[in-house]
Amino acid sequence: MAVAQYATKAILESAQQSNPADIEFRNVGRIFKSRNGTVEVLRDFNLTVRKGEFLAIVGPSGSGKSTVLNLLAGLDIPSTGAVSCHSKAVTGVNSEIGYLTQHDSLLPWLTVEQNIAVPLEIRNVAKPERSRRVREMIANVGLSGFEQYHPSRLSGGMRKRAMLARTLIYDPPTLLMDEPFGPLDAQLKLVLQAELLRLWNATGKTVVFVTHDIVEAITLADRVIVLSQRPSRIKLDEKISIPRPREVHDVRFAPGFEDHYRRLWGAIEFDSAGQRQ
């Protein structure tokens, strides 16, 4: 069994290595100018993410994790260097990605059902197919029975599910997730992580997942990168050796977890107050 798993993993890895680069940052720098001076968030930032890879980014707060995602989404432009996605340079808003942001961006005047249908409306999907896909997706993320609710009546976890559904429904080949489960309680976090892994397994999308939770990063990702303090570069690039499929509540007991955890923890820098972030 173990041998078979190892063999599968080796095959998978070699297959992944031959996969083309899905996302590429080349010598990217980003400087924010404001009245109070300039802030250099990224300098000579280089990163390649292969197709189908699950990458997690951790780092101290203010280390440009969200900037990396915004650059990929085309909501921000690099000061120097170039970002490409699916072998095309990102120059404007990148609609080939699904971006699950940290903050709530559901439209409060639409019901859950209508919110999830928005991306399909934008793509002019015919109404019968639209409602069928919306119904499937709502069941997929466990929101059945809440179709007609407005976001103001949902709990934080349900809103996250609705946002996840809205992101997945148009099947973007690449997913960007910015601390999507950050403010949720531990139990709910595990449930949603498990669902995310299941959906990722089924679809094989490329995922870039920003988190401040090292355990979450190891649990989910193929590879975890640690960003340094500003101006950020990659301080550690750690391949996660824990085999898949993974059980979210079991990963922390898997052999190798502790080593990964120690190395990642050690790489995250102290801030000026002497606290890890």
Select from 99, 146, 181, 209 the one that contacts other proteins (CB under 8 A): 99
14 binds other proteins (CB under 8 A): no
For helices 127-140 and 112-122, angle between their N-to-C axes, nearest 10 degrees: 130
Find the shortest distance in angstroms from Cβ 60 to other proteins: 23
Cβ within 8 Å of residue 92, ≥6 positions away: 74
Compute the distance between CA of residue 135 and CA of residue 115 in angstroms, rounded to an integer. Answer: 12
Residue 119 binds other proteins, judged by CB under 8 A = yes
* Residue 84 interacts with other proteins (CB under 8 A): yes or no: no
Residue 152 as a binder of other proteins (CB under 8 A): the answer is: yes
Residue 276 exposure: Cα atoms within 13 Å on the Cβ side? 11
Give the one residue of 21, 75, 188, 234 binding other proteins; rule: CB under 8 A: 75
Compute the distance between CA of residue 33 and CA of residue 3 in angstroms, rounded to an integer. 55
What is the smallest separation between the CB atom of 83 and other proteins, expressed in angstroms? 14
- Binding part of the chain for other proteins, among 35-43, 116-124, 182-190, 207-215 by CB under 8 A, reads 116-124
Nearby residues of 238 by Cβ (< 8 Å), 6 or more positions away: 223, 224, 225, 226, 260, 263, 264
Nearer to other proteins, 177 or 240 (CB): 177
Of 28-36, 46-54, 72-80, 181-189, the segment contacting other proteins by CB under 8 A is 72-80
- DSSP result, 92-136: S--TTEEEE-SS----TTS-HHHHHHHHHHHTT--HHHHHHHHHH
How far, in Å, CA of 66 to CA of 241, rounded? Answer: 26
Interface with other proteins, residue 88, by CB under 8 A: no
In the list 150, 212, 244, 263, the residue contacting other proteins (rule: CB under 8 A) is: 150
* 199 is a site residue for other proteins (CB under 8 A): no
Contacts of 162 (CB under 8 A, 6+ apart): 106, 112, 115, 116, 141, 143, 151, 154
Binding residues for other proteins, total number by CB under 8 A: 24
232 contributes a contact to other proteins by CB under 8 A: no
Rule CB under 8 A: is residue 93 a binding residue for other proteins? yes
Report the interface residues with other proteins, using CB under 8 A.
73-75, 93-95, 97-99, 101, 103, 105, 107-110, 118-119, 122-123, 150, 152, 166, 170
